């Protein structure tokens, strides 16, 4: 079945540094959703992108959907300790099957 | 007022037992899911229901039986629990292909 890979698996940054996670698929995606899961918490929906080349911003977070709709990225500017968690991309395929990527765990230290 | 609530939050039980996890959503969504999250944090879809009808069953052992009495509820019953069933189980709901809202999770430990 379709698998969405994320890189890196893990990243450790100093507070104030930028962070980017990438989501890649071998097939064209109908949409991309991004979620954040804090340690011990549940995934929280952040945003959905549906158009080729779409870019959306939420404060320090910038989300991009590739022109070919096979990849996406989430960029965080000037990370803060509150950004700690695992970031997942996800895709709604056929029959509304919501499949998650492998996730990127972000650690931020002072 | 919690949007997606699941109970219990923690479940510790012995191998061979049968247990149930309940989930309710008050968002009026038409689609509900069960996910299993293992120790490596992978989120694996187990089941998806749309308006009470099963639409996705992802090669889950038949010891796992979901039941949706109405579109606001999706319960998960597990028979003959095994050690490998230990994980966090999340219920979620969405409206069509929109973003999914997750419950707090049920941490199941089989001993």
Cβ pair A42:B48 closer than 8 A? no
Q: How confident is the model at residue B1 (pLDDT cuts 50, 70, 90)?
A: low
Per residue in B93-107, pLDDT (tens digit) is 999 889 999 999 999
For chain A, positions 32-91, list CB contacts with chain B under 8 A: 33, 35, 37, 42-45, 47-48, 86, 88, 90
User: Which residues in chain A touch residue B90, judged by CB atoms under 8 angstroms apart?
Assistant: 42-43
Query: Tokens representing B110?
Result: 């089989």
Is the pLDDT assigned to residue B2 strictly greater than 80? Answer: no
Cβ pair A100:B42 closer than 8 A? yes
Average pLDDT for consecutive 10-residue bins of chain A (110 residues)?
A: 84 98 94 97 98 97 97 98 98 85 96
Range list of β-strands (E), chain A: 4-7, 10-14, 19-25, 32-37, 44-49, 55-58, 61-65, 71-76, 85-92, 98-100, 104-109
Rounded (5°) CA angle B53-B59-B61: 95
Q: Is B5 exposed, middle or buried (0-12, 13-18, 19+ CB in 10 A)?
A: middle
Does A102 touch chain B if contact means CB atoms closer than 8 Å?
Answer: yes
Per residue in B49-95, pLDDT (tens digit) is 998 888 888 889 999 999 999 999 999 999 999 999 999 999 999 99
Residue A60's region, left for phi above 0, alpha for psi from -120 to 50, else beta, is alpha
Interface test with A, best of B9, B43, B46, B74 (most A CBs within 10 A): B43
Cβ pair A103:B90 closer than 8 A? no
Does A94 touch chain B if contact means CB atoms closer than 8 Å?
Answer: no
Mean pLDDT value of segment B34-52: 92
Give me the pLDDT at residue B56, please.
Answer: 83
How close does chain B come to A100, measured CA to CA in Å? 6
How close does chain A come to B81, measured CA to CA in Å? 23
Distance between CA B4 and CA B93 in Å, rounded?
7
């Amino acid at each position: 079945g379709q698998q969405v890979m994320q890189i890196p698996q893990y990243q450790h940054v100093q507070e104030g540094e930028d962070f980017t996670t990438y989501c890649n698929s071998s097939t064209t995606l109908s949409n991309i959703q991004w979620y954040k899961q804090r340690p011990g918490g549940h995934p929280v929906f952040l945003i959905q992108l549906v158009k080729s080349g779409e870019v959306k911003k939420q404060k320090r977070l910038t989300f991009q959907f590739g022109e070919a709709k096979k990849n996406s990225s989430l960029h965080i500017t000037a990370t803060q300790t509150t950004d700690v968690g695992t970031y997942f991309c996800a895709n709604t395929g056929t029959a509304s099957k919501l499949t998650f990527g492998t996730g990127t765990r972000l650690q931020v230290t002072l | 007022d919690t949007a997606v609530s699941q109970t219990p939050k923690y479940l510790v039980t012995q191998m061979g037992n049968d247990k149930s996890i309940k989930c309710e959503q008050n968002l009026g969504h038409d689609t509900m899911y069960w996910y299993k999250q293992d120790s490596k944090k992978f989120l694996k879809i187990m089941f998806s229901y749309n308006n009470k009808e099963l639409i996705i069953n992802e090669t889950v052992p038949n010891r796992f039986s979901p039941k949706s009495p109405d579109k606001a509820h999706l319960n998960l019953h597990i028979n003959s629990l095994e050690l490998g069933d230990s994980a966090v189980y999340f219920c979620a709901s969405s409206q069509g292909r929109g973003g999914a809202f997750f419950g707090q999770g049920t941490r199941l430990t089989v001993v």
